[in-house]
Amino acid sequence: MSPLSKSNKLYTLSNDLINRIKSMANNGISFTKGDILFREGDHKEFIYLIEKGMVSLVKDNNDISNKKIEIMNQNDGDIVGVDLVFNDNDCEYSALVTEPSVLYKVLIADFKELLSKNSDSSLELIKYLSSLDTKLEKKKLA
């Protein structure tokens, strides 16, 4: 996978960073369709690296229909909850597994320590976050 190209392809994390994240988690965890990683309003301690599968980020609609608004889908190689690394507030969305998945669960504190010790990983994460922001903007315009 190549980092951010001129096409619509989003920035992807390097194998080096993915392997570092996996080593912090030790083992992948299998999830089934419908599992909830975390709910809107939760105070989060973990992020999740998707090895295989798909997770949908959804937000409550806050109307009488009680329907969820899909913010974004994330899949292989994405980090679910990465914004929580920089945000000490409660989570503003829920993460729902939408197909059988294997995820690596990492303490946010451990991930922050990795970033503080490795400036290359920090820069890579900034590029990745920028890519996610671009994905959100394109979805809003669609």
Mean pLDDT, range 100-105, rounded to an integer: 98
pLDDT in tens, 85-96: 888 778 889 999
Q: Can you tell me the distance from the alpha carbon of 81 to that of 45, in angstroms, rounded to the nearest whole number?
A: 10
Residue found under tokens 């000490």? 88
Q: Can you tell me the distance from the alpha carbon of 25 to that of 34, in angstroms, rounded to the nearest whole number?
A: 22
Mean pLDDT, range 56-71, rounded to an integer: 77
| CA-based torsion, 127, 48, 135, 8: positive or negative | positive
- Which domains are assigned to the chain? 15-141 (2.60.120.10)
pLDDT in tens, 2-45: 333 333 456 889 999 999 999 999 899 999 999 999 999 988 89
Between residues 136 and 30, the one the model is more confident about: 30
Q: Can you tell me the distance from the alpha carbon of 76 to that of 81, in angstroms, rounded to the nearest whole number?
A: 14
Provide the mean pLDDT of the chain.
86
Q: What is the pTM of this model?
A: 0.84
Residues 6+ apart with CB under 8 A from 86: none
pLDDT score at 97: 98
Between residues 43 and 103, the one the model is more confident about: 103
What amino acid is encoded at 46 in this protein?
A: F
Between residues 61 and 25, the one the model is more confident about: 25
